[in-house]
Amino acid sequence: MSVHESGEMYLEAIHVLSGTNGYVRSIDISEYLGYSKPSVSRAMGILRNGGYITVDKDGGITLTDAGREIAEKIYARHTLLTKLLIHIGVSEETAAEDACKLEHAISDESFEALKKYAANIL
């Protein structure tokens, strides 16, 4: 289960949008991430070929089990890291931006340690 950082961002976006809208299309992802339609289209092809998403005949995008697993992992990291940064005094906007960068780089071991630490302070 190896997806590049950009793939993780797309999967996370699909996860968030499907929770909000219920139905996700490429245009929704493009608007949400601020990426061009051709870039999103190219990424969706890669993720579909990798078995992380399915695309129905009407263009609806759904996460597969493998895609959902990655998306939920990244989203959980983003959420916790944002909360921790806000807790230590970082502004909400900066915390969210920094969490987005950190969520892709942090090891599972470090994230698990942060999660245990956060359980005691948040």
Which domains, from first to last, does the chain contain?
Answer: 5-65 (1.10.10.10), 70-121 (1.10.60.10)
Tokens of 107: 């090891």
Q: Does pLDDT of 122 surpass 90?
A: no
Average pLDDT rounded to a whole number, residues 74-95: 96
Look at the alpha carbons of 111, 107, 11, 78 in this order and tell me if their dihedral is positive or negative. positive
Is residue 24 packed enough to be buried (19+ CB in 10 Å), middle (13-18) or exposed (0-12)?
buried
- 106 by Cβ neighbours in 10 Å (0-12 / 13-18 / 19+) ranks as middle
pLDDT in tens, 50-72: 999 999 999 999 999 999 999 99
How far apart CA 96 and CA 80 sit, in angstroms, is 10
